[in-house]
Amino acid sequence: MESVNIKELNERIQQESGFVDMLSLEMGKVIVGQKALVENLMIAMLSGGHILLEGMPGLAKTLAISTLSKAVSAKFSRIQFTPDLLPADVTGTLIYSQKKEEFEVHKGPVFANFVLADEINRAPAKVQSALLEAMQEKQVTLGDQTYRLPEPFLVMATQNPVEQEGTYPLPEAQVDRFMLKVLVSYPGKEEEKLIVRMNNSGVFPEPSPVVTPEDIMRARGIVREVYMDEKIERYIVDIVYATRTPAAYGLQELSGLIGYGASPRASISLSLAAKAYAFIKRRGYVIPEDVRAVCPEVLRHRLGLTYEAEAENVTPDQIVEQVINAVVVP
């Protein structure tokens, strides 16, 4: 009976996930290479999570996000984070109208489907905290009224590496609310040659809108229906637990390197991201490879490293790799 249901689910997902190829095609017109970046943007969009992109300036982080919003004909807003930005510049504020003799609500740029928080780590903590309620509850409180944000709502933030001049490390509570953290790397030689050629010609292709916000909301419902076996659920929980109690999984050498492990949000994000990954691969069920594929992006920003780890130049990615290799695959 179950195998018949999975077969039906597979066929349904084969049909429903057709737009993924169209979206990839439209983004491929503008973004040269960066397949992993495009794939992770889609995973975040399909699973309802927020995404943080980290990389050096000039690696098409902002371009990738604005291109996605054009391909999905949704409301897009961009907030440039600066040290003098105020919380009201993000969420909006109440302004007194002398004509009406009452306060009027002026909604901020966060009231959009796709919100690009550009160079998010250039603003201080009080501005970051203004985003917390929006990211977690998908609502904003102005005065004594609470306003729902439009659906789908997705914060896509870019940050330069924290070592750079004039940047602030993000608060842990906010970092944890990002479902994925993607490290954007330099393009290959052939890809960079194409980028140079495209810019020299002065002709920049524009993506066409191929999906609506309603399509995305429907796809999110189907992503949650992707079948996940109990063994896969146990596998996800084991991976997250191995970051908290590494010695219990034969990883004694990590005990002195991990200050704190991943939160329960990591387990939730890992399962949803694995389902979205299976959906993108046109499959109606999750396999261990799906979990392993999304693990680095889901876990790398949720691990607190000790001073000892930093002194030894150990990165979160190295720890995640050791954890994945140690936990038994079902």
Residue type, 186: Y
User: For 303-313, what is each residue's pLDDT tens digit?
Assistant: 888 898 888 88
Strand partners, 102: 97
Average pLDDT, the chain: 85
pLDDT given at position 152: 87
Please give the residue range of the domain that contains residue 315.
Answer: 227-326
Say what percent of the chain tops pLDDT 70. Answer: 98
**Where does the pLDDT of residue 277 fall: very low under 50, low under 70, confident under 90, or very high at 90 and above?**
very high
Q: Do the domain assignments include residue 187?
A: yes
Residue type, 187: P
Query: Which of residues 216, 245, 269 is at a domain's end?
Result: 216
1 or 155, higher pLDDT: 155
Report the pLDDT averaged over residues 139-158: 87
Report the pLDDT averaged over residues 119-139: 84
Query: Which of residues 183, 216, 249 is at a domain's end?
Result: 216
Do 141 and 233 fall within a single domain?
no
User: For 58-81, what is each residue's pLDDT tens digit?
Assistant: 777 778 888 888 888 888 898 998
**Where does the pLDDT of residue 4 fall: very low under 50, low under 70, confident under 90, or very high at 90 and above?**
very low
- CATH assignment of the domain containing 31: 3.40.50.300
